Amino acid sequence: MNKRILILPFVILIAASACGGTAATEGPIVSTATSETEPEELEEEATVSQPTAEPLPTSAPEAGGQADIPRKILLVTSSLTEEVLGYSMDGEYLGVFATTSDIQWPVGIALGPDGKFYLSSYGHNAILQFDTKDYEPSKGMKFLGKFTLDGNLQAPESIVFRDGYLYVASAGTHKVLQYDAETGKFIHDFVQSDLLKGVSIQFPWSLTFGPDGHLYVDSNTNEIYKFDGKTGESMGVFASDRALIRPAGMTFGPDGHLYVGSQDTNTILKFDGKTGEFLAVFVQGEVLQGPWAVAFGPDEHLYVASSANNKVLKYDGETGEFIKTFIDGGRLQAPNGLLFIP
């Protein structure tokens, strides 16, 4: 029997030491397992949409050492170490940028319209907020607290800010929730399953707004759904193909096409950005194991969080040809969120 890294479904009992209780949650875990058969289908997660943030102003360190976070870096969630790590655009490790006991299995990351840093804590069912203007290399960004808690948020995955709102993939309730981007107040269920309209969202991991302003959401049914970006009204299945198995991580590229990670086939698929037609297997190869997040960098190349082997891989943004292993292990364990800070 061959020993290999698998991404397995599990039910965890989260000991809420800060709250004095426990809660059961379905979700993903990366573990070492011995198996002769293919893993069962999961109800799991994925990555970061709209990965490139607005530029942040720079400032000189204050007397106590605080400063704005550096620019021209890549932030990556390290799920097993429950941290957000920073890297230069050469792949050099820069240190821990976010850490707190409130982080449990971090996934989605984004900069808000206020310039602050936001992170989904899958295990604690919350979106956390950090101050990008209060950063110390030895401590990371200052933790400001939990930004959202209500709306029956369960197992949050990808997060996206747009037009004054925060959108969160609530995998545990099979919905996309909408919050006020300034206050964190829950507004309503923006997207949910509607079998009468042929919409069956199951364990959404990734969401992204397209060039057309509409919202795209993946589903464990191996489909990508499209929703009106203003109303949340279903516009049907946008993309699906037999090569797409357990989608995780998606983004629109500089060419306007949609790129989606397929976990069970260890590939990145390319779909026409207007019609949803399957175009090609854009990325494949043995080095890619468990793609969980995809993002185009400022160099317009594609970066992929290869979660099962603790790497971030870099591919040619036009051809999909493998360029290099951009980050290789070390402190990084089970990466599943990518955010470029220009």
Q: Output the domain CATH number for residue 81.
A: 2.120.10.30
Examine residue 104 and state whether it is found in any structural domain, yes or no. Answer: yes
Check pLDDT > 90 for residue 17.
Answer: no
Check pLDDT > 50 for residue 26.
Answer: no
pLDDT band at 195 (very low <50, low <70, confident <90, very high): confident
Q: Which domain holds residue 75?
A: 44-341
Residue 244, beta-bridge partner list: none
Mean pLDDT score, 230-254: 96
Examine residue 20 and state whether it is found in any structural domain, yes or no. Answer: no
Examine residue 87 and state whether it is found in any structural domain, yes or no. Answer: yes
Check pLDDT > 60 for residue 65.
Answer: no
Examine residue 5 and state whether it is found in any structural domain, yes or no. Answer: no
What's the pTM? 0.82
pLDDT band at 117 (very low <50, low <70, confident <90, very high): very high
> Which tens digits make up the pLDDT trace of 269-283?
999 999 999 999 999
Mean pLDDT score, 223-232: 97
Encoding tokens for residue 144? 């400001």
pLDDT band at 197 (very low <50, low <70, confident <90, very high): confident
Share of the chain above pLDDT 90, in %: 76
What mean pLDDT is reported for the chain?
A: 85
Check pLDDT > 70 for residue 71.
Answer: yes
Examine residue 212 and state whether it is found in any structural domain, yes or no. Answer: yes
Encoding tokens for residue 283? 């990325």
Examine residue 23 and state whether it is found in any structural domain, yes or no. Answer: no
Examine residue 35 and state whether it is found in any structural domain, yes or no. Answer: no
> Which tens digits make up the pLDDT trace of 297-326?
999 999 999 999 999 999 999 999 999 999
Examine residue 36 and state whether it is found in any structural domain, yes or no. Answer: no
Q: How many structural domains comprise the chain?
A: 1
